[in-house]
Amino acid sequence: MRIRKLPRCFIAAVPDRAGRDALSAVQSRLREAWPERDADPGWTLTDDLHLTLRFLGDLPESALEQALGSLSLPPGEPAPTLAITGIELWPALRPRIAVARFESSGQLAAWVATVEAWAVEYGLAPEHRPFVPHVTLLRSPKPLSPVSGMLLPELDLRLEAVQAMHRSPHSRGPRYLAHAEYRLV
């Protein structure tokens, strides 16, 4: 029996529909600021917007489901709400990624620590970068220029689920497919 590995696996928190729509509106404002990027395939599709808790790499599907199960979320876990802190371009030198950055919460930090413990126990290298809660809006093949005068939107992001996901190529940019999900209330 051949074990199928899934590419670019990760555990993510998924915003509710209102949050995804609000982030899509931010993307529209960025498209206006960068008209040359409007047709860029690197824009994250509205239904695929997510906050990555831990990147896992290429894993078998069973390991991806194990990773989500490691969270041991109690029944009726309340959904955290995160306040936006800014729109940022990464990295600082020749940025190619636009993100919406959010403040963290104790609950989110606990989820990240639990998935990290599972990943190390599974045999993955420890994550040495600090966790920065963000949603990727665009991955551009060319450097992005700073956007001046863009007001920070009023946005409290409510999370509705935690999913084990992987990246799948798509003609309009990457798509993210869920393999297991824990719904929040």
According to DSSP, the residues that pair with 54 across neighbouring strands are 11
Residue 50 falls in the annotated catalytic set: yes
Return the structure tokens found at 21. 């729509």
The string of DSSP codes covering 48-117 is G--EEEEEEEEEEHHHHHHHHHTT-PPTTPPPPEEEEEEEEEESSSS--EEEEEE---HHHHHHHHHHHH
Within 13 Å of residue 179, how many CA atoms lie on the same side as its CB?
Answer: 23
H or E element in which residue 156 lies = strand 156-168
Please give the Cα distance from 31 to 58 (Å, whole number): 32
Residue 134 falls in the annotated catalytic set: yes
Quick one: which of 169, 160, 166, 168 has its CA closest to 178? 166
Do residues 77 and 183 touch, judged by C-beta distance below 8 A? no
Residues designated as active site = 50, 134
